[in-house]
């Protein structure tokens, strides 16, 4: 019985190892494989040693059991843009050209590509802390059809318009801070987050609390009310709530009368990114 159990354990370990997703680094080779296997190519443009959202995407999604279960549906490619890790000059140059070719403006960017035509039919930019299930559902929603590509084009246009609007509102917030006009800053934040739902909405009152203290360092009581509102909106998301709690403690202890470190996408100048969650 023991030898049999041992063999079964070895077999299970080998099977599990074989199921691990394999990431290529050559897009041309991946497209050739995709044509042969009749699969789409999933390309991850990442900054493996410096980009926090990239690291979070890999940890929360690409290293998850949920992704492992569906990874075989794609030919996977990782195009890395490290800042510290040595990279072969030819690979660095090739990846730089691919970044330019596909118009990559932020990391992480994940593309779904038709191996035969080379056309993009799916695209996500940034990572806002979604669960593996949520992220995979988004990928599955992209369709390699004329209608699907048209829908993606419209989605990208809407995102670009939203980004442009957020930049305008972000400038209004910065101008309001300079003018010490909290009401104007608050109105701009309300407009900026009008379409944001779920726990990420918590960034709005958190920003209000921080900006209020930037304008009036004595307004701690009202700032705390905004922070408490933000904490209530996190809906138990401890990752999001942690920096809010830390900032609240600093206000209560008197350790700060002005804004401290904020989560990515929460600072006034980064407010344009808050809807992307990147």
In this structure, the answer to whether residues 102 and 43 fall within a common structural domain is yes
User: What value, to the nearest 5°, has the Cα angle with vertex 95 and ends 91 and 100?
Assistant: 150
What are the DSSP E strand ranges found in the chain? Answer: 23-24, 41-46, 75-80, 109-113, 120-125
Question: First vs last Cα of the chain: how many Å apart?
Answer: 53
In this structure, the answer to whether residues 193 and 242 fall within a common structural domain is yes
* Per-residue confidence (pLDDT) for residue 5, from 0 to 100: 52
Residue 150 lies in a domain: no
**Tokens 């296997």 belong to which residue?**
37
In this structure, the answer to whether residues 125 and 166 fall within a common structural domain is no
Give me the residues of the chain with pLDDT under 50, please: 1, 6-8, 10-18, 258-278
Query: d(Cα 165, Cα 172) in Å, to the nearest integer?
Result: 11
* Per-residue confidence (pLDDT) for residue 255, from 0 to 100: 74
* Per-residue confidence (pLDDT) for residue 86, from 0 to 100: 94
**Tokens 């041309």 belong to which residue?**
28
**What is the tens place of the pLDDT at every residue in 233-274?**
988 888 788 999 999 999 999 876 544 434 333 334 333 343
Contact 75, 60 (CB under 8 A): no
Domain boundary among 144, 168, 196: 144
Domain boundary among 112, 144, 176: 144
Q: Into how many domains does the chain fold?
A: 2
In this structure, the answer to whether residues 208 and 138 fall within a common structural domain is no
* Per-residue confidence (pLDDT) for residue 272, from 0 to 100: 38
Contact 40, 113 (CB under 8 A): yes
Domain CATH number, residue 132: 3.40.30.10
Query: d(Cα 162, Cα 144) in Å, to the nearest integer?
Result: 25
Query: d(Cα 154, Cα 148) in Å, to the nearest integer?
Result: 10
* Per-residue confidence (pLDDT) for residue 122, from 0 to 100: 96
Contact 52, 264 (CB under 8 A): yes
Residue 1 lies in a domain: no
In this structure, the answer to whether residues 36 and 77 fall within a common structural domain is yes
**What is the tens place of the pLDDT at every residue in 183-207?**
999 999 999 999 888 888 999 999 9
In this structure, the answer to whether residues 186 and 126 fall within a common structural domain is no
Domain boundary among 122, 144, 166: 144
In this structure, the answer to whether residues 71 and 123 fall within a common structural domain is yes
Tell me the residue range of the domain where 40 lies. Answer: 20-144
Residue 68 lies in a domain: yes
* Per-residue confidence (pLDDT) for residue 227, from 0 to 100: 96
Q: What is the DSSP code string of 1-36?
A: -HHHHHHHHHHHHHHHHHTS--EES-HHHHHHHHHH
Residue 278 lies in a domain: no
Query: d(Cα 260, Cα 246) in Å, to the nearest integer?
Result: 9
Residue 243 lies in a domain: yes
In this structure, the answer to whether residues 140 and 26 fall within a common structural domain is yes
Burial of 271 (0-12, 13-18, 19+ CB in 10 A): buried
In this structure, the answer to whether residues 137 and 187 fall within a common structural domain is no
* Per-residue confidence (pLDDT) for residue 206, from 0 to 100: 95
Residue 228 lies in a domain: yes
């Amino acid at each position: 019985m023991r030898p049999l159990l041992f063999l079964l354990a070895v077999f299970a370990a080998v099977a599990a190892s074989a199921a691990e997703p394999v990431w290529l680094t050559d897009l041309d080779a991946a497209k050739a494989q995709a044509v042969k296997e009749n699969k789409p190519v999933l390309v991850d443009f990442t900054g493996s040693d410096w980009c926090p959202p990239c690291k979070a995407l890999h940890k929360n999604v690409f290293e998850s059991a949920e992704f492992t279960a569906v990874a075989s549906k794609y030919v996977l490619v990782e195009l890395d843009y490290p800042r510290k890790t040595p990279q072969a000059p030819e690979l660095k140059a090739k990846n730089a050209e691919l970044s330019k070719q596909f118009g990559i403006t932020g990391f992480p960017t994940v593309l779904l590509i038709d191996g035969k035509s080379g056309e993009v039919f799916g695209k996500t930019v940034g990572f806002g802390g979604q669960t593996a299930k949520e992220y995979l559902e988004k990928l599955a929603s992209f369709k390699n059809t004329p209608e699907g590509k048209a829908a993606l084009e419209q989605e990208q246009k809407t995102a670009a318009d939203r980004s442009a609007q957020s930049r305008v509102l972000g400038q209004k917030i910065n101008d309001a801070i300079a003018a010490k006009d909290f009401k104007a800053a608050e109105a701009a934040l309300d407009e900026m987050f009008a379409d944001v739902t779920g726990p990420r909405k918590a960034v709005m009152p958190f920003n209000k609390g921080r900006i209020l203290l930037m304008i009036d360092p004595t307004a701690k009581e009202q700032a705390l009310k905004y922070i408490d509102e933000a904490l209530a909106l996190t809906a138990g998301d401890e990752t999001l709530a942690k920096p809010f709690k830390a900032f609240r403690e600093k206000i209560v202890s008197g350790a700060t009368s002005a804004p401290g470190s904020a989560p990515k996408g929460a600072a006034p100048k980064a407010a344009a990114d808050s809807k992307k969650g990147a």
